[in-house]
Amino acid sequence: MDRLWPLFQPITIGGLEIRNRTVMAPMVTNYCGTDGAPTSRLMEYLGARARGGVGLVVVEASYVRPDGKGFRNELGIHNDDLIPALQELTRRVHEEGSKISVQLFHAGRQTSSAVTGEQPLAPSPLADPSSGEVPRELTTAEVTALEDAFAAAARRAQAAGFDAVEVHGAHGYLVNQFLSPFSNRRTDEYGGNTHNRVRFAANIVRKVRRAVGEGYPIFVRLSADEYVPGGITLSEARMIAAYLEEAGADALSVSAGNYASPGLIIIPTMDLDPGLFVPLAAGVKQAVSLPVIAVGRLHDPLLAAQVIAQGSADMVALGRALLTDPDWVRKAEQGDVDDIKPCISCNQACIANLLTGQAISCLLNPACGREQELAVRPAGERRRVVVVGGGPAGLEAARVAAERGHSVTLFEEHMRLGGEFAIAAFTPRKEELSDALRWMIRAVRSAGVDVRTGERATAERVLQERPDAVIVATGGRPKAADVAGLRAERTHLAREVLMGAVAPGRRVLVAGGGGVGLATAELLAQGDRQVTIVEQLEAVGADLSADRRYWLLADLVDHNVGILTRTSIRGASDGGVLVSHDGHEERLGPFDDVVVALGYDADTSLQRQLESRVAKVYAIGDAVEPRSAVEAIREGAEVALRI
């Protein structure tokens, strides 16, 4: 606890006293109505994080005009009719002891006509890097009107009870588009040199100040490095920060990137180092006298505390970490660091959901955004529950059922718990899966689950427990390669390689270019093997999110891994493999070994054997259909809450 004390010192910004140095970073949730109105779902979600002890809640990007809407179910602050509902939102957060700010936002070109109903707007008519849609260039008069829209939104925020506002000047949205030479090619007073490009942001700050008066904090969020050719770098970000301080900003929140940045670095995945943006925050802090907020994979309380203790920033912003564990701050303050459910920066249910138009969730916390619906409450009657399978689905089901008061026995045929999670943790840059797995196993044991490892749960063995309910989480069976001529002794399943059960020779063919095949190829290539991947689909990594796929493919390229798409294996002989590639047959190789990563088939055998012999039998995860751990863990929680 002594090492964490910097996190829990109060701070005053622009007259606003905040109880500690933690900020809930603004993340669009898609929990709102299509009209931008906040919902009870959003209020429960924010209230849970405030109740967990966070100092300042910054509510998600909220559009100041309908043409600036970036997501279909994003929060709006564009008309006065929203003020009563926003007042209820701020009341909920204040009741939990947190201060609350709202992020004022206009998407600019980083939206689409499908969302806004009209052609997107931007400082210059340059195509959006994600959608390719070309925006309409704003006139000078329209720019002035947009400045006024931000000021009007700030007035609404103040009337709704928000303690502060934050101008979103980062991540490639409209304010950032004006700031950056990457997106601003104007020749009027809003384009050209840094002084002109910062004019839009500085005018917004000044107009907001006139709207809200003195003593009301104005924060600005910046991308201090866009990581794109011709974009903002730290040296210019320091100049921009100084201009914004002069304009009247009270604090700066320092992030990075835009939609064109490599691997969607705005929300860095587990492929990237923790705290990777801290040097940017420290660099900006040296250029101004304002408080600075750091962000970017600061999920470890000790790292977050070090950032403040070393003077790199005055506060730390937590986004995904608070999705995973709303009580992160309270647990850290009480010294229960090991009890914090760890965010592993997988982006599978938060960012991936957001970018596909869905409500955000969390791989490890399916109750994110469903706080009431998936709350763990005592069961009406204590039951005997058997869970078969110790992967993520089974572990979640066992924990939730036990915490509700049921008597739970968990069978896992292997000596080690974790299932596919444990295997995936062996692959490069996914070691943090082990952190999640350790938490899940610790929580299962703390809940009092009777864990039986190394014991195969046949139907007869399960029935010996006289269960009232059985949850089948046996996962899937790896598909084998049915190829004539492949020598069995030189053909291995990917999981065997990942677990170290076999050691392929120097020349390896990986059959299957999904996430498992790519990760296996990467591990082998890092072990100085010559690796070729063959995949029947148009592209490899189709089951991966775009950000994780980017970093994985970059490493495969660095290690000279060969990749053939639209290719199927036809046969094998004399150490070589016959393939059909784009309709033409050819021979690859020779190879010392073939590694098979062709996916899984659901294992439904136990469920079928038990259905007529136990009152309640539930199948979850890959035992239903092979999918991601997101569905597996969610189904584990949902089923355990029904018993």
User: Cα–Cα distances in Å, from 595 out to 99, 310, 503, 591?
Assistant: 54, 48, 11, 10
CB 490 within 8 A of CB 575: no
Gyration radius from the chain CA atoms: 26
Q: Which residue matches tokens 């008066």?
A: 213
The CA distance from 563 to 510, in Å, is 9
The CA distance from 362 to 351, in Å, is 9
CA angle 58, 60, 63 (to 5 degrees): 125
The CA distance from 643 to 232, in Å, is 54
Closest CA to 203 of 224, 183, 189, 217: 189
Closest CA to 184 of 108, 243, 285, 103: 108
Q: Which residue matches tokens 């979600």?
A: 45
Q: Which residue matches tokens 């006293």?
A: 17
Choosing from 45, 63, 173, 618, the catalytic residue is 173
Output b/e per residue, 146-177; b: 16+ Cβ within 10 A: bbebbbbbbbbbbebbbbbbbbbbbbbbbbbb
User: Cα–Cα distances in Å, from 196 out to 191, 239, 557?
Assistant: 5, 12, 41
Cα 606 from chain centroid (whole Å): 34
The CA distance from 68 to 62, in Å, is 9
Question: Strand 562-564 relative to strand 567-573: parallel, antiparallel, unpaired?
Answer: unpaired
DSSP labels, 353-398: HHHTTPPP--SS-TTTT-TTTT-----SS--EEEEE--SHHHHHHH
DSSP labels, 158-220: HHTT-SEEEEEE-TTSHHHHHH-TTT----STTSSSHHHHTHHHHHHHHHHHHHH-TTS-EEE
Let me know if 550 is a catalytic residue.
no
| Residues annotated as part of the active site | 173
